[in-house]
Structure 1
Amino acid sequence: MNSLSGVNSAMNRKVRNGFTQLFHFGYHQAMSCIFPVAIFGTLALSGAVNLPFIHRYDAILLVLLTVQYLMYRSGLETMDEIKVICVFHIIGLLLEIYKVSMGSWAYPEPGFSKIFGVPLYSGFMYASVASFMCQIWRRLSMDMTGWPGLLPAGLLGGAIYLNFFTHHFIPDFRWWLTGLVLIVFWRTWILYRVRNVTYRMPLTLAFVIVGFFIWLAENIATFFNAWKYPDQHQTWQMVGFGKISSWFLLVIISVIIVAQLKHVKAGRADRQSG
């Protein structure tokens, strides 16, 4: 009887500990999503409310700039993370300008903060991925094993980004690039810590998971008229599942840049301490 009671007690402790770990993991995930949530919240609110004296796109830009400032001033983001976000904003904005010019999607509403038909706030949607990456990396004390190094990772990331531009006039190599991702990162694992327990996950699996959730966010964004695909001008419909592969590849670019910067910073800290 005492033995059975001991087994039940051990199982209860294991279940409680599991829920505690899940709660802490969820908390850090939620805190890392503050900026993406701010973006989609602003899109939803501005789409439901008629804004006087200011265009919707301009208002969204002002709100997001304010959120970024407040996150930095409050210590939720560091200056290094702000720099990474700015890099992603530029990368995303250049891609947006090109895609809009090719008719892939459109921003039909007026605004003073539009460049070549693209509102400046759109770069923040890419920067929000970088914000999440930086935040979760720091909050879960993330690290990687089997990182392939700057040259193969950088060349692959560059090829993926270039393919987003070139597939309009030469064959789309996304599936070949996806195969290269599996080859280059097949030995790479993410290590992350929740309280005092370390877990690990294949990096390619993390790419798929994040890409899927960005695809869900994209459906929300188009529903609130953040932008429109050609088949959504008459009425909203779900973004095709094929877009998951695009986000999968875009996430890889994000991880490559963030991970390489983290490795460089860690190496610099080791040299200074030595």
Structure 2
Amino acid sequence: MTSGQQWALTSLELRLDAWAHRRLASLGGRGRARGYLLEFAVFTVKQAWACVFGALMLALLLGTHLWYPEGVALSRSDALVLGAVAIQAFMLLARLESGRELWVIVLFHLVGTAMEIFKTAVGSWHYGGDGLFWIAGVPLYSGFMYAAVGSYMVRVFRLFDLRFDRYPPRWATALLAVAVYANFFGHHYVVDSRWILLALVVALNIRCVMHFRNHRSRPWRRMPILASFLGVAFFIWVAENIATFAGAWIYPNQAEGWELVPLSKLVAWFLLMNISVVLVTFVYRPRPLKAPEGPQGLEGPGEPAPLSR
């Protein structure tokens, strides 16, 4: 697979990109404010598509929480597992996702499930109910919630043609990600290093700037990569509140009734973003803004090639 193919879009994403091009090209000289509003609308639509796996998972959680019948042979947790598998299978069969990206999502699933098994064992949170598709007290649908984060990450790399200035060495980001992951386990037995790790994540990435564009014909926009970490961490926190409201899992402070997940959890999700980006960059290598042009049109100007099957 060439570098250009690596960044290619699915057929549906090509149609979405063409729609964005038509809308943005229609601006002409109609004013800067209108242009910003339209670009924001395109940005929102593309972000929504990037979140499609997570949005469908949340819909499953809420739907089964509100309307799943009691007393049926198939438990709710097993129905959630089968529903999550069906979503993943549909996205592959409909060619909305590539096999290469599936490996990243599976890796997120495995990393997340391992942490779930440990965290439930030490009482950080717990799952109610029972079913067939459980392992060590954890329903297998839990791993799909981590996979939803992986699905989002690989999509935004494609949809916004992400580039980076002063991206830190990948070996350094990988070592730090391992340390962050280890601390999720180790802080139950030794000193909690999350604040030290948080400082290291900030120090390692503080000079890195992420560039994106709503369409290949539009100007580059930029933001500090740490701002993107914080933004995604916030929306994961919002999704976590929806999921706990739907009874996907329960924190100790929610045992007597649902309440908001503490904002302090943002620190954990911010650290998780470091792990997430590292996992994705081993499939989609971070590229600088001024990358050499390639034959597929994605390393330089031009339209994206369709996804290689």
Deviations 1:56-82 (A, max 9, x none): 111001111111111122222111111
In 1: Cα distance, 2:270 partner to 2:279 partner: 15
Q: Which residue of 1 aligns with 2:273?
A: 251
Q: Which residue of 2 aligns with 1:147?
A: 167
Q: 1:170 aligns with which of 182, 187, 190?
A: 190
Letter in 2 for 1:183: A
Q: Which residue of 2 aligns with 1:104?
A: 124
Q: Percent identity?
A: 37
Q: Which residue of 2 aligns with 1:36?
A: 54
Runs of 4+ in structure 1 off by over 4 angstroms are none
> TM-score, normalised on structure 1?
0.91
Letter in 2 for 1:247: W
Letter in 2 for 1:171: V
Q: 2:99 aligns with which of 79, 84, 88?
A: 79
On the 8 A contact 2:164/2:287 being kept in 1, the answer is no
How many residue pairs end up in the alignment?
261
Q: 1:25 aligns with which of 43, 47, 51?
A: 43
Deviations 1:170-210 (A, max 9, x none): 11111100110111112211111112121111111111111
Q: Please provide the CA RMSD for this pair.
A: 2.0
Structure 1 unaligned spans of 5+ = 1-9
Q: Which has the higher helix share?
A: 1
In 1: Cα distance, 2:222 partner to 2:207 partner: 12
Measure how far apart 1:50 and its partner are. Answer: 2.8
In 1: Cα distance, 2:194 partner to 2:29 partner: 47
In 2: Cα distance, 1:22 partner to 1:173 partner: 38
Q: Which residue of 1 aligns with 2:207?
A: 187
Matches within 5 A, 1:83-98: 83-98=103-118
In 2: Cα distance, 1:150 partner to 1:15 partner: 39
Give secondary structure in 1 for the equivalent of 2:221: strand
Give secondary structure in 2 for the equivalent of 1:263: coil
In 1: Cα distance, 2:227 partner to 2:64 partner: 35
Give secondary structure in 2 for the equivalent of 1:250: helix
Deviations 1:17-56 (A, max 9, x none): 1121011101100101110001100000111123432101
Q: Higher relative contact order at CA 8 Å, sep ≥6: structure 1 or structure 2? A: 2
Measure how far apart 1:260 and its partner are. Answer: 3.2
On the 8 A contact 2:210/2:225 being kept in 1, the answer is yes
